[in-house]
Structure formats: C-alpha cells, structure tokens
C-alpha cells in the first residue's frame, strides 16, 4: 500500500522524485522520503508526515542527485516516525532501499544479521534488505548480484527498489506487489502506479512476477530472478497527466464523482450499440459452457460484485459474491463450468489475487474485471475485461464502482444471451426473475437504450445540489443507517462504506428486510435512515422505512423521479431519472457519494486521504 518512485537519467532526479511522491500520496501518507546518488555517495532525507513536510526538509538540505528513489509510506510494521520512514539503509549508508509489501521472515533475518554484527535503527521489516545487500557487497559481490542474493532470502510480498553508492543504476524487482517501468526521453522511471510519472512519459512496461529491472541513464534491462534476459512489451497508456491531477477541484474525490458521466461513456463505448452486449474477447457463444459464477472481491469492488451477482441471479444464472479474504482460505466448491470473476480496480489487491490464484488451481475458468491493463489480475486470469474508467486517485472509490457495475451488467447480458446457467446445455434454465413485476426488462437483460442513457442520467444526479443541503441538515446525527433491497442492498452497503471512510462517523448498511431483525434496536430520533429505492419491490422497502419512522428516525429517500408515493412518505428525497430498476442502483449511489462527500467537507476531514486507509491494498 506504500508508493515507490525511482528515476535514472539525464539531469537532477530530485524534482521528478518529489513530483512522483506527490502523485502517489493516495497510496500512503504517514511518512515520505528520498535517497539520491551523487558524488558524495547516497544522500537520504525522510520525514514523518505528508510530502509537504519532506519538501521543506529537502529544501533545507539542498539535495541533488542524478538518480534516486522515493517512497510514501502506509504503516504495517512500526508506527509512523522519521526512523521508520523509507528509504532504509545499511549502517554505513552505502545502500538505500524502498519497499512495498510485507517480508514475513524478517524476524529470523534480523536475528541472523544481528549475530553478524549488524545494527538496526527502525522497527520495520524493510530494513533487513539493505543489510542483506551490504553483507554481500562486503563479500565482494557486485551490486546486482548482491541484490539478487538478498531477494532470494525474502519470503512474503514485495516491490523493491535500491540504489548503491558509486553505482549509476537503480535495481528493482517485484513479487506480489506491483511495479511499472516508465520509458522516457530524458530518463527512465519506476513506480508502484502509472500516475506517479505520467507527467514525464506515457510509455510503460508492466513488470511481471519476479522480473528484475536495472535502470540507468543508458536505458533499462530486464531479467528473470535467475538472470535470464526477458523482453516485455512497451505499452502506451491512454491517460493524460491532467487525468491524474485535481485541476480546479479541491479534492480528487469530487473530481472523480463529476467524471462519472465521462468514465461511463468510456466503459460503454462500442459495447452497447445493439440489442446485445458486444464485449471484446467474448464473442457470442464464448460463455455458453458456464453453469454458475463466483465473484471474489474486497471493499467497494465487493459491493460491485454483489450487485453483479444479483443481476445474474435475476437472469436465472446461479451466482455468489464472496469476500476475497475469505475465499482465499475457505473457497467454495467449483467445477470446470464455474466462472470465477475477480473484481479489482487496481488489479493488484493482495486478497483478490490470492483468491484468483486459488481459483486458477481449480478446474474453474477465471476472469478479471479490472481498470488496469497489464495488472497482475489481468495477466493471471484466463480472461480479462477492462472497465475503462481512467485513473482514480481518491482513496474512496467512486467512478470505478459505477464503471464496474456497468461492466458487470453488460457481462450479465452476454452470459444470458449465451445461454449460461444450470442445465443450459440441455435447454433448461432457472426462472429469470428480472421479468417480475416492477421491472422494465422483458428479455432477461437490461434494456440497451437504458444502459446507453446512463452517462446522461448520472450527469443529472451530479448536478443535483440536494445532497449538500442534507449533509448540513443532519450533521449532528449520532448514526447513519443505509438500507436497500435487491440491487439497492449492495448500494446501501457502499453508501455506508463511503460515509464511514471519509466522515469517520458511525454508518452501517443493511438489507432493508433485515432492519427489524436486530438493527432496529439501535434506531433513535438521532439515527438517520437513508433508504435506497430502485423501482422494484419499493413497497416492501417503504414498509421497512415506516418501521424506523415510528421510532422517530428521520428518513432520507433516494429513488426514481416519478415515485410520488415514496417522496410523500419520507422526510427528504433525492430523486434520480427514471430508469431500468437494474441500473437504478448506479444512479442512487452517486447521490450517496455526494452525501458522504459533503458530510466530510463540513467536518473538515482529509477526504482524499482518510486516516488509516490507502488506495490499493497490496498486503493481505
């Protein structure tokens, strides 16, 4: 979850490193540091706090260097402090290393190194690496050989970058944590994520598992862990530097909420032109052998997976969503006709990758639904579908949820059209409940015209100012409960997650019918109930709302524009354009994103960098 940046090339590296760290703040923010190589050796500056604190310290030191590495940290081993900040060095300062991940055998390595006379100055697992390298250098190894030997001793997950005094190169490798190489005209870059160096180059190489990279001013060289030279494709990303910058916005989160109409257009482009979904890599009939679907995901992606599983079940296709951190250790039974879908924005979420690897070791077919071309999930799954949402910098996911759900709706239609489901090969299908009363769907799928109107409908919601007013009106509440039914249930969970992530207030999400089975005991006049209505089974949800109303709870309804009865029954109402009930959750969710955003803004929270959280969770 930490951020790594490196640069080797012409001119001073420091400005590029500091820019990269600023761009990587969403990956970690409790400390930051840089190490640059110059004529005096390795010069390190690191500070607890955000990157602005480091900027001031660097300015006082007047650091310069023609190559270097940097790091922004999210703590796992050791509390935030100057000593625990990266880069870490050996005791003589010859070697500097930055690390993302967890070295599981660090305690035994530390004991071994201490017995050899090495002294440690931090509580981190990462500090063992420069000491391992230094020991090999003392034995006469070259920096590259020393780095290889050190890495061979490590157990766990890691992305590593290293500089050594009197050596022009940066050495890097990855195992279970992402690293991407940026190929520039005036230098080469290394980072945890593309936005770190997007201002300098859009040409990238996604390092594969156990690749080892050597960067210097002449270029780069890639080898396997064993030293065999490998070639990796150079790809051009279609993001611009402006995509990864706030521009006129105060927060990335608000920018990314407002970008949802554009990101949805990208998601749907070329995929929803006719009556059937057209998915690249999935021609008609390609999913006909699928009998059942298992989703694995974490956090916001898990809520999108729940939404997707509901859509599939409504089409008569058995589907289950499991939290990846559970599936990896307690997987459900699968067959050679099961499709396991890993939903992950970054494609690098450690728990989701662990589940994907478990599934890859089973008879099941695997599919990654991700935002990042070249990510680990995209490479390791049998197939990949890209949500095409563009870069998302804010820790609280917004536009990627909308694009994930839209992508899964298209995938659900493709599976249905291909005849997927139990007994599909014999012409037998479970009843598709999407044709039930209250749904505008008549063929087991979402209406193509309706899904094409999603960007415009979302834009209508984004321009609605109601959430700002309600955030102020209910700012003094003790708790916020979000309820929903059907596709409204995962949206309620997602709304509660967004609210608690960035406001630090107590918020919970419930299936609407579950409110009376326990949670109602917590409802008081100081408990705001936010109820999601989709145009399907709304009378049942309204009954649950009235149960809370009789306990004095104020009710905020979020539902279709034309739902007059609901509007009159609740205290406040956030409307969205009438649409297919299967897609209504996407529109309702935008209102909930804005409600959380404005509630956090009132409280002066760190909206883009909420406490204790980081964007891409690359450790289990």
Q: Do 86 and 110 belong together in one domain?
A: yes
Give me the pLDDT at residue 50, please.
81
How is 280-332 classified by DSSP, letter by letter? TTB-TTTTTT--EEEEEE-HHHHHHHHHHHHHHHHTT--EEEEEHHHHTTSPP
At residue 131, does pLDDT exceed 50?
A: yes
pLDDT-based confidence at residue 424 (cuts at 50, 70, 90) = low
Distance set, CA 353 to CA 290, 296, 383 (Å): 22, 9, 14
pLDDT-based confidence at residue 362 (cuts at 50, 70, 90) = very high
At residue 525, does pLDDT exceed 50?
A: yes
615 is catalytic: yes
Give me the pLDDT at residue 162, please.
97
> Taking the CB of residue 465, how many other CB atoms lie within 10 A of it?
9
Report d(CA 278, CA 271) in Å as an integer: 4
Q: Is residue 150 part of a domain?
A: yes
> Taking the CB of residue 202, how many other CB atoms lie within 10 A of it?
18
Q: Kindly report which listed range (352-361, 431-440, 597-606) carries the lowest average pLDDT score.
A: 431-440
Q: Is residue 74 part of a domain?
A: yes
Report helix, strand or coil for 471: helix
Q: Do 278 and 151 belong together in one domain?
A: no
What the block records as the tokens of 521 is 């005991």
Report d(CA 529, CA 332) in Å as an integer: 34
Residues 6+ apart with CB under 8 A from 21: 3, 5, 32, 34, 51, 54, 70, 71, 72, 196
45 is catalytic: no
Q: Do 230 and 212 belong together in one domain?
A: yes
What the block records as the tokens of 395 is 């820790």
Give me the pLDDT at residue 266, please.
93
DSSP H helical ranges for 315-432: 324-327, 350-360, 376-380, 399-417
pLDDT in tens, 166-209: 898 999 999 988 899 999 888 899 999 888 898 899 999 999 99
Q: Which of 452, 487, 514 is the last residue of a domain?
A: 452
Report d(CA 181, CA 409) in Å as an integer: 34
H or E segment at 429?
none
Q: Is residue 570 part of a domain?
A: yes
DSSP classification of residue 426? G
At residue 585, does pLDDT exceed 70?
A: yes
H or E segment at 68?
strand 67-73
Facing residues of 183 across strands? 188
Q: Do 172 and 124 belong together in one domain?
A: yes
Alpha-carbon dihedral sign for residues 286, 292, 293, 294: negative
Give me the pLDDT at residue 64, please.
84
Report d(CA 173, CA 187) in Å as an integer: 19
Give me the pLDDT at residue 440, please.
39
Report d(CA 570, CA 548) in Å as an integer: 11
Q: Do 235 and 306 belong together in one domain?
A: no
Q: What is the mean pLDDT of residues 99-122?
A: 92
Supply φ then ψ for residue 427, to 5 degrees: 80, 15
pLDDT-based confidence at residue 425 (cuts at 50, 70, 90) = low
What the block records as the tokens of 282 is 């999935």
Q: Kindly report which listed range (3-12, 67-76, 260-269) carries the lowest average pLDDT score.
A: 67-76
Residues 6+ apart with CB under 8 A from 569: 542, 545, 546, 555, 557
Facing residues of 37 across strands? 42, 67
DSSP classification of residue 229? B
What the block records as the tokens of 614 is 């980081």
pLDDT in tens, 546-563: 999 999 999 999 999 999
CA dihedral angle for residue 16, residue 219, residue 205, residue 171, rounded to 10 degrees = -80
Report yes or no: 573 and 580 within 8 Å, Cβ to Cβ. no
pLDDT in tens, 437-469: 333 343 455 555 689 999 999 999 999 889 999
Q: Do 428 and 470 belong together in one domain?
A: no
Q: Do 121 and 269 belong together in one domain?
A: no
**pLDDT winner (highest mean) among 43-52, 180-189, 272-281, 288-297:** 288-297
Q: What is the mean pLDDT of residues 427-437?
A: 46
Total count of domains within the chain? 3
Residues 6+ apart with CB under 8 A from 612: none
Range of the domain at 266: 252-452
Q: What is the mean pLDDT of residues 61-78?
A: 82
Q: Do 230 and 302 belong together in one domain?
A: no
Q: Is residue 431 part of a domain?
A: yes
Q: Are strands 31-38 and 41-48 parallel, antiparallel or unpaired?
A: antiparallel
Query: Strand ranges (DSSP E) for 154-255?
Result: 156-164, 170-175, 180-183, 187-191, 203-206, 212-216, 219-223, 235-236
Report d(CA 206, CA 237) in Å as an integer: 11
Q: What is the mean pLDDT of residues 514-526?
A: 92
Report yes or no: 239 and 220 within 8 Å, Cβ to Cβ. no
Q: Do 500 and 536 belong together in one domain?
A: yes
pLDDT in tens, 462-508: 998 899 999 999 999 999 999 999 999 999 999 999 999 999 999 99
Q: Do 178 and 224 belong together in one domain?
A: yes
pLDDT-based confidence at residue 79 (cuts at 50, 70, 90) = confident
Report d(CA 454, CA 401) in Å as an integer: 14
Q: Which of 224, 244, 264 is the last residue of a domain?
A: 244
Q: Do 353 and 323 belong together in one domain?
A: yes
At residue 4, does pLDDT exceed 50?
A: yes
Closest by CA to 428, choosing from 316, 333, 336, 292, is: 316
What the block records as the tokens of 89 is 């060095």
How is 489-533 classified by DSSP, letter by letter? HHHHHHHHHHHHHHH-S-EEEEEGGGTTTTGGGG--TTEEEEEE-
Q: Which of 244, 278, 306 is the last residue of a domain?
A: 244
At residue 433, does pLDDT exceed 50?
A: no
Q: Is residue 614 part of a domain?
A: no
Q: Residue 376 maps to which CATH number? A: 3.40.50.10490
Q: Is residue 608 part of a domain?
A: no
pLDDT-based confidence at residue 8 (cuts at 50, 70, 90) = very high
Q: Residue 170 maps to which CATH number? A: 3.60.20.10
Q: Is residue 375 part of a domain?
A: yes
Q: Do 60 and 78 belong together in one domain?
A: yes
From 2, 22, 255, 399, the catalytic residue? 2
What the block records as the tokens of 429 is 């299908």
Closest by CA to 181, choosing from 36, 7, 9, is: 7
Q: What is the mean pLDDT of residues 126-152?
A: 96
Q: Is residue 164 part of a domain?
A: yes
């Amino acid at each position: 979850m930490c951020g790594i940046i490196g640069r080797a090339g012409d001119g001073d590296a420091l400005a590029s490193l500091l820019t990269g760290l600023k761009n990587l703040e969403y990956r970690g923010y409790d400390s930051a540091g840089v190490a640059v190589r110059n004529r005096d050796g390795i010069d390190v500056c690191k500070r607890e706090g955000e990157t602005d604190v480091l900027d001031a310290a660097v300015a006082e030191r007047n650091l310069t260097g023609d190559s270097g590495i940097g790091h922004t940290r999210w703590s796992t081993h050791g509390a935030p402090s100057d000593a625990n900040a990266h880069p870490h060095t050996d005791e003589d300062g010859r070697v500097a290393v930055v690390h993302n991940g967890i070295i599981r055998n660090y305690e035994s390595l530390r004991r071994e190194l201490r017995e050899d006379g090495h002294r440690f100055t931090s509580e981190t697992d990462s500090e063992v690496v420069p000491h391992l390298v230094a020991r090999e250098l003392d034995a006469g190894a070259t920096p590259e050989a020393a780095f290889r030997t050190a890495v061979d001793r490590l157990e766990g997950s890691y992305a590593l970058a290293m500089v050594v005094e009197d050596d022009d190169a940066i050495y890097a490798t990855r195992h279970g944590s992402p690293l991407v190489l940026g190929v520039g005209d005036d230098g080469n870059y290394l980072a945890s994520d593309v936005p770190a160096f997007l201002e300098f180059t859009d040409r990238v190489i996604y390092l594969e598992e156990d690749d080892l990279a050597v960067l210097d001013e002449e270029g780069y060289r890639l080898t396997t862990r064993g030293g065999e030279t490998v070639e990796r494709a150079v790809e051009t990303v279609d993001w611009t530097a402006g995509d990864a910058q706030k521009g006129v916005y105060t927060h990335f989160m608000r920018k990314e909420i407002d970008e949802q109409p554009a990101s949805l257009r990208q998601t749907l482009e070329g995929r929803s032109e006719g009556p059937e979904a057209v998915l690249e890599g999935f021609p008609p009939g390609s999913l006909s052998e699928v009998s059942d679907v298992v989703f694995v995901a974490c956090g916001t992606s898990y809520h999108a997976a729940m939404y997707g599983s509901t859509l599939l079940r409504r089409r008569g296709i058995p589907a289950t969503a499991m939290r990846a951190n559970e599936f990896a250790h307690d997987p459900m039974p699968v067959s050679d006709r099961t499709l396991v879908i890993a939903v992950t924005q970054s494609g690098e979420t450690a728990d989701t990758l662990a589940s994907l690897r478990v599934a890859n070791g089973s008879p099941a077919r695997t599919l990654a639904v991700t935002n990042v071309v070249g990510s680990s999930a995209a490479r390791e799954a049998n197939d990949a579908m890209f949500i095409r949402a563009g870069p998302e910098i804010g820790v609280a996911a917004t536009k990627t949820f909308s694009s994930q759900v839209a992508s899964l709706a298209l995938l659900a239609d493709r599976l249905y059209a291909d005849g997927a489901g139990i007994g599909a090969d014999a012409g037998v299908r479970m009843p598709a409940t999407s044709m039930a009363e209250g749904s505008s769907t008549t063929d087991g799928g979402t209406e193509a015209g309706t899904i094409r109107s999603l960007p415009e409908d979302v834009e209508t919601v984004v321009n609605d100012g109601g959430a700002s007013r309600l955030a102020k009106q209910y700012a003094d509440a003790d708790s916020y409960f979000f309820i929903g039914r059907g596709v409204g249930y995962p949206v309620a969970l997602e709304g509660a997650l967004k609210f608690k992530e960035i406001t630090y207030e107590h918020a919970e999400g419930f299936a609407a019918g579950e409110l009376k089975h326990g949670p109602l005991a917590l409802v008081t006049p100081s408990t705001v109930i936010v109820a999601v209505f989709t145009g399907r089974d709304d009378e049942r949800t309204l009954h649950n709302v009235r149960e809370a109303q009789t306990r004095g709870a104020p009710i905020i309804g979020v539902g279709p524009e034309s739902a007059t009865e609901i509007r009159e029954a609740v205290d406040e109402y956030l409307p969205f354009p009438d649409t297919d009930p299967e897609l209504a959750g996407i529109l309702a969710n935008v209102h909930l994103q804005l409600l959380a955003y404005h509630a956090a803004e009132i409280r002066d929270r760190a909206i883009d960098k909420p406490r204790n959280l980081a964007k891409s969770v690359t450790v289990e």
